């Protein structure tokens, strides 16, 4: 029996629909909204969660004890080159300028940007690597601040994906599908775990830009898809109005706004009475959230009271709203307000040509602030309950795109192998997992697929990725589709 038929039968069994609504203190619509505000009525909870038959229950609670309470995801859009940053390959120095052996490439797919090249000359990184930390991890000179936190970090050097172009690859990481329309990762977590602060969204998005000519980002990456709209990611922007249309219009004070919302509740109840569509109640819940956010958001987004030593830690750029460094600082403030999922997108890593110069610029824009976030969380006692993730949508190839010189080269997209790092709650410290071949081209040990990575992060948050499902148009969906396994060796 469908959920809506069950609800219809429930109403008719008890009272006529109109009498049922009029005799409850708030009405069914208000009861559903009350559920979103942590009421206990079981039927209202079912309506408010939008949980169809066959979905995992209960929602708002982890499936098992979580290691992490929240996540900060520092997504590096455009795909940083692992060969310049984290995956040292001396073989590329020995064979500089020689063609990539066909025995390594194995006829694998290339993008249209290099498929027509007559040769594939191997390009060693222009930048030097050195050993850092207790386990002698090889880190590039481009990341001096990151090298100082390696004893708190797990590097996964064996990531691989199916997508070879930016848009489908980013969409795949963020939604579990290369095609748009699926719920984003943060929306799934909001749907499964709910919110720990009723005055703030559970899923917040921060955007920053690197160099000019960035790959575009789209709202589908933080969309709720077919999940209830209350789980949509909320974009916080720099400037006096962090959230569009949050502030009251001129001439409207808080009391007037409250009266307007009270009247709107009555109208929405009447609409719900006619159509029994849960989305009516989700819409009202969003209005109520916006009302409460009017006080909470400006306070959270105000970094003017941060002490000078914090700005020194994150770097001078942290004083400039909208920069990666400023957004890292805001991410820390947001998780202090119990925001469950903070998604930070940083653009500018798409380096098909002039890579040595451009990656130096990009690394400088993120290195200090990324490391500072780990140190700041650690000194506040928050790192043990917060998971931080750093990485892009795929890697970069071992051969040069276009002309190769000692000082200049480019690298094309490479989905076969790349590196991400994780730090904080539930992951090992000072640990490297996975290995690529001597060219950095293929994974040769402990491969980690995107769905495996998603399953692992969900596991750290106390969610079984196979059980958090939502039935839509006759099919049961989940973030990892029908794939994914938890990467247990990286867990504490």
Measured distance CA(470)–CA(479) in Å, rounded? 10
- Burial of 90 from C-beta contacts in 10 A (0-12 / 13-18 / 19+): exposed
Higher pLDDT, 16 or 87: 87
**Which residues pair with residue 389 across a beta bridge?**
73, 422
Neighbouring C-beta atoms of residue 187, cutoff 10 Å:
28
Whether residue 235 has pLDDT greater than 50: yes
CA distances from 282 to 130, 228, 429 (A): 53, 7, 41
CATH number at residue 237: 3.40.720.10
Query: Has residue 298 been placed in a domain?
Result: no
pLDDT at 27: 38
Domain annotation covers residue 15: no
Are 339 and 201 in contact, with CB atoms under 8 Å apart? Answer: yes
387, pLDDT greater than 70:
yes
191 within a domain of the structure (yes/no): yes
Residue 276 lies in a domain: no
Assess if residue 255 is contained within a domain: no
pLDDT at 216: 86
Q: pLDDT-derived band of residue 279, with 50, 70 and 90 as boundaries? A: low
Query: Which pLDDT tens digit goes with each residue over 161-176?
Result: 999 999 999 999 999 9
Give residue-wise pLDDT tens across range 325-341: 999 999 999 999 999 99
What separation in angstroms does the CA of 23 have from each of 16, 262, 264, 270, 471?
10, 18, 19, 14, 32
Identify whether the C-beta of residue 76 lies closer than 8 Å to the C-beta of residue 118.
Answer: no
Range of the domain at 91: 65-247+310-490
What domain count does the chain have?
A: 1
Is 432 inside any structural domain?
yes
- Supply the pLDDT for residue 471: 93
Query: Of the given ranges (31-35, 84-88, 267-271, 326-330), which has the lowest mean pLDDT?
Result: 31-35
The reply to whether 297 falls in a domain is no
Task: Judge whether 421 lies within some domain.
Answer: yes
Cβ pair 391, 397 in contact under 8 A: no
């Amino acid at each position: 029996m469908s959920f809506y038929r069950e609800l219809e039968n429930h109403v008719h069994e008890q009272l006529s629909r109109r009498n049922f609504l009029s005799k409850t203190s708030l009405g069914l619509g208000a009861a559903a909204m009350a559920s979103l505000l942590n009421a206990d009525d079981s039927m209202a909870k079912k309506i408010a969660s939008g949980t169809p038959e066959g979905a995992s229950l209960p929602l708002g609670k982890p499936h098992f004890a979580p290691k992490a309470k929240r996540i900060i995801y520092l997504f590096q859009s455009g795909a940083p080159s692992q060969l310049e940053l984290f995956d040292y390959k001396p073989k590329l120095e020995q064979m500089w300028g020689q063609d990539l052996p066909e025995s390594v490439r194995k006829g694998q797919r290339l993008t249209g940007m290099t498929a027509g090249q007559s040769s594939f000359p191997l390009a060693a990184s222009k930048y030097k690597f050195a050993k850092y930390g207790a386990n002698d991890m090889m880190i590039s000179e481009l990341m001096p601040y990151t090298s100082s936190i390696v004893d708190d970090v797990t590097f996964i050097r064996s990531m691989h994906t199916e997508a070879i172009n930016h848009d489908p690859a980013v969409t795949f990481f963020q939604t579990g599908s290369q095609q748009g329309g699926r719920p984003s990762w943060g929306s799934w977590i909001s749907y499964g775990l709910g919110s720990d602060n009723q005055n703030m969204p559970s899923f917040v998005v921060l955007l920053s830009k690197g160099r000019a000519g960035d790959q575009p980002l789209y709202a589908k990456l933080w969309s709720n898809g077919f999940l209830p709209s209350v789980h949509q990611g909320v974009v916080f922007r720099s400037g006096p109005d962090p959230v569009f249309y949050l502030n009251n219009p001129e001439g409207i004070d808080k009391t007037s706004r409250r009266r307007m919302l009270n009247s709107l509740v009555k109208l929405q109840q009447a609409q719900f009475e006619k159509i029994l569509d849960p989305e009516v109640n989700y819409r009202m819940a969003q209005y109520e959230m916006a009302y409460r956010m009017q006080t909470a958001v400006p306070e959270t987004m105000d970094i003017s009271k941060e002490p000078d030593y914090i700005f020194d830690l994150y770097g001078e750029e942290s004083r400039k709203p909208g920069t990666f460094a400023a957004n890292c600082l805001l991410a820390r403030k947001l998780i202090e307000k119990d925001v469950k999922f903070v998604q930070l997108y940083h653009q500018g890593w798409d380096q098909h040509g002039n890579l040595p110069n451009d990656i130096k610029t990009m690394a400088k824009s993120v290195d200090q602030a990324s490391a500072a976030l780990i140190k700041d969380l650690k000194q506040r006692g928050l790192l043990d309950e917060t998971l931080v993730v750093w990485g892009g949508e795929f890697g970069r190839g071992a051969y040069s795109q276009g002309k190769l010189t000692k000082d200049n080269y480019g690298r094309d997209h490479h989905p076969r192998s790349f590196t991400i790092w994780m730090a904080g709650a539930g992951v090992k410290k000072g640990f490297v997992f996975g290995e690529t071949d001597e060219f950095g081209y293929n994974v040769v040990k402990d491969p980690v697929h995107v769905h495996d990575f998603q399953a692992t992060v969900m596991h750290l948050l106390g969610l079984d990725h196979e059980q958090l499902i939502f039935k839509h148009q006759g099919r049961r969906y989940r973030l990892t589709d029908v794939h994914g396994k938890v990467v247990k060796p990286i867990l504490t």
